[in-house]
Structure 1
Amino acid sequence: MPSGVARIAVDLLGGDGAPAVVVDGALRACSADPDLKLLLVGPRDAADEVIGALPVNDRERAGVIVVDDAIAMADSPLRNIRRSTSVRAAAEAVYAGRADAMVSAGSSGAAVAASAHVLGRLRGVRRPGLAAQLPTAHGPMLLLDVGVTLDATMLELVQHAVLGTAYASVALGIARPRVGLLSIGSEPGKGDRLRRAVSIALSDIPLPAGGRYVGLVEGFDVPRGGPADIVVTDGFTGNVLLKGLEGAMSTARSSTGAPGPAGQFEAAAVLLGVAGDVVVCHGSAGGAEIADGIALAARLHRDRITPAVAGLADDLLAELSSAGGLTVRDALGERS
């Protein structure tokens, strides 16, 4: 049973089925965790629905920030970053100390932009990354990035490997985490120029927590697990892979009629690289998945995972950033 008060700011307007599924998820989370407190960020009527459904003696567990505006999936997160939206208000609540962590199932870009802008990034981090934990036959695997760095640079991929290694050590309890780089083959030298350069760079960097770079991995290594505990890729490829896995699992469940572990590839993702606890749920998440995201956010706070990750990764992230930036040309030994 979870213990220790955790105050979670919940974006009521985030997600395809918001606010109804978020209300459902908030109520499920409160029922499962008696030490949980929620700061409901969104329309008054949706917040009142959550509060009204709580037992009378529990209603003080929920606070409200009334916001009626959200960043739609089609909106540009950067152009709308200063608008008074639900996701920005949730990030501001964390920054101000009114909440310990935040959860949103809305636009990933909006959640990332608001979090980075309001909470700030860890020292040296160029761009944060979304890390999704996937179950495999060989134990949990961390896949990142799954949606932020659509055009990732060499430095960003290397920094994500550093952050993922630290997180796997602290949050998943993996000793000497193994890092793999997603490519089109596992043989050395496979992939485009960016992957070849990142592979060379990771081979030369002392990863935190005794982490080891084990080389290139292929797409089928992700759902079955085995070669690596962390798989690093750009946000475009990672998001496509994650949704492909979701679709495959959904189709398999439908065709066999077996209930299966519903939503196992719709896990909430942790935003690594920002100075705060942020969880981003899948846009199509239902109430159960929203509740899981809230529980994850509470665990991040209670176990002080983000400060521990920062402690392991801070110096290396800053060193990588201040070195003038890693370049593909330099890594491959190419002349200008």
Structure 2
Amino acid sequence: MSGRLTLSLDAMGGDHAPDIVLKGVQIARTRHPDVRFLLHGDEAVLGPMLARDRTLADACEIRHADGVVGNDEKPSQALRRGRDSSLWKAIQAVKDGEAAGMVSAGNTGAFMAMAKLSLRTLPGIDRPAMAALMPTQRGDLVMLDLGANAECDTDNLVQFAIMGEVFARTVLGLEQPNIGLLNIGTEDQKGTETLRQTSAILRDSTLPIRFHGFVEGDDIGKGTVDVVVTDGFTGNVALKAIEGTSKLYSSFMRRAFESSIISRIGYLMVRTAVNKVRARVDPRRYNGAMFLGLNGIAVKSHGGTDAVGFANAVCVAVDLGTHGFNETIKGEFMKVQRASGLDPETLERAANG
């Protein structure tokens, strides 16, 4: 694939699809007017929607798909019955080289299962992990896994740490990022046996990474480390809690400024500062989690996002595709493996160096 960047979109995935998908594409095109889009979904639905916007229609090509993977559908069911779905076909376009990457707001479990089956994982990676940037007092950090793997063993967490470190170096440009393992305390004896074993491996092995140790939930906002590693269950709970807290405080501020005439006048005086804070912590700004560890760019948008959030997920895919980050990550990951003396087929012997 060469020339103009093309992205493949699951136009039917998500709580408010396809409306927010097309509106999100409209927003994304103001930032990236040269990107072309393959829209996978029901042509009878998508066709009339595109017909109302000639400029958008010129940038999009509809690829008909009869099926849609439901939000409550199990990954095993989606794999058996979803080969004609918009999600599967959007992934296949990346595998076939028709698109540089793909985006979906659909079923996370089905997305991961299909992407892993179609795109395959990098050597030494058992499972892909969802990674995304999050705001902190010190800037942005990378957190993974955010929901792709509810249960993880020691090998998975070690692999996530390596991928997160490489992502932070290649995407954030950090020379030597700090890695933290999310736990209920910072003491060595805290947490599950899996966490303690993972900590020992990361601390004692020859992996060329800076391991900070255990971090707690409040360390995420503090920016104590550059990369936070956790299993998908814990990561997703943390992510939703952070998003919910952001919305809660935004509603508190709105009610406070609307409570009286004096408060409204005060808001006019501080409106610029308030808007900056609101934009900084807006969950939509950070929408778009990449599946690290795949042989292809696959970005997961929040299922309940709006057009602005979906546009940001599209922009994540555009940035990754434009700058060749996935190829860089693949190359850097292999360098880490070689520097560590690790067998490219497994990381089980990491503890022994």
Going from structure 1 to structure 2, the CA distance change for 1:78 and 1:105 (only over 3 Å counts) comes to same
Answering whether residue 241 of structure 2 is matched by residue 244 of structure 1, we say: yes
CA contact 1:134–1:265 (8 Å) conserved in 2? no
Match of 2:153 in 1: 153
Q: 1:296 aligns with which of 316, 325, 336?
A: 316
CA offset digits 1:131-155 (Å, max 9, x no partner): 0110112011111000011110100
Aligned equivalents of 1:144 and 1:301: distance in 2?
A: 20
**TM-score after normalising by structure 1:** 0.90
- TM-score between both structures, scaled by the size of structure 2: 0.86
* Unpaired runs of at least 5, structure 2: 255-273
Equivalences for residues 133-144 of structure 1 within 5 A: 133-144=133-144
**Counterpart pick for 1:71 among 69, 72, 77:** 69
How far is 1:321 from its partner?
6.1
User: Following the alignment from structure 2 to structure 1, what is the Cα–Cα distance between the partners of residues 251 and 286?
Assistant: 16
CA contact (8 A) 1:246 1:266 kept: no
Question: After the TM superposition, which residues 25-174 of structure 1 pair with which residues of structure 2 at under 5 Å, given as runs?
Answer: 25-49=24-48, 51-56=50-55, 59-82=57-80, 83=82, 84-174=84-174
Q: Aligned partners of 1:200 and 1:321: how far apart in 2?
A: 21
Tell me how far apart the structure 1 counterparts of residues 221 and 48 of structure 2 sit (CA, whole Å): 38
Greater helix proportion: 2
* Residue pair 2:181, 2:214 contacting (<8 A) in 1 also: yes
Task: Flag the structure with larger Rg.
Answer: 2
Equivalent position SS for 1:170: helix
- Unpaired runs of 5+ residues, structure 1, are 332-336
Aligned to 1:233: 230
SS in 2 for 1:223: helix
Q: CA deviation at 1:315?
A: 5.4
Q: Structure 2: how far apart are the matches of 1:123 and 1:153?
A: 18
Aligned to 1:334: none
Deviation at 1:124, TM superposition (A): 1.6
Among 230, 252, 256, which residue is 1:255 paired with? 252
Q: Is the 8 A contact 1:28 1:288 kept in 2?
A: yes
Pick which of 306-315 and 129-138 moved more.
Answer: 306-315
Contact 1:104 1:280 in 2 (8 A): yes
The answer for the alignment partner of 2:221 in structure 1 is 223
Considering only aligned residues, what root-mean-square deviation do their CA atoms show, in Å? 2.1
CA spacing shift, 1:301–1:323, aligned 2, 3 Å: closer
Distance 2:48 2:216 in 1: 46
How far, CA to CA, are the matches of 2:245 and 2:343 in structure 1? 38
Aligned residues: 322
> Where do residues 169-318 of structure 1 align in structure 2 (5 Å cutoff)?
169-207=169-207, 211-225=209-223, 227-257=224-254, 260-261=278-279, 262-264=282-284, 267-314=287-334, 316=336
- Between the aligned partners of 1:177 and 1:49, the Cα distance in structure 2 is 48
Report Cα offsets for 1:13-59 as digits up to 9, x if no partner: 11111111112111211233111110001111443255324445x63
| Corresponding residue number in structure 1 for 2:348 | 325
Identify if the C-alpha distance between structure 1 residues 323 and 112 changes in structure 2 by more than 3 Å, giving closer, same or farther: closer
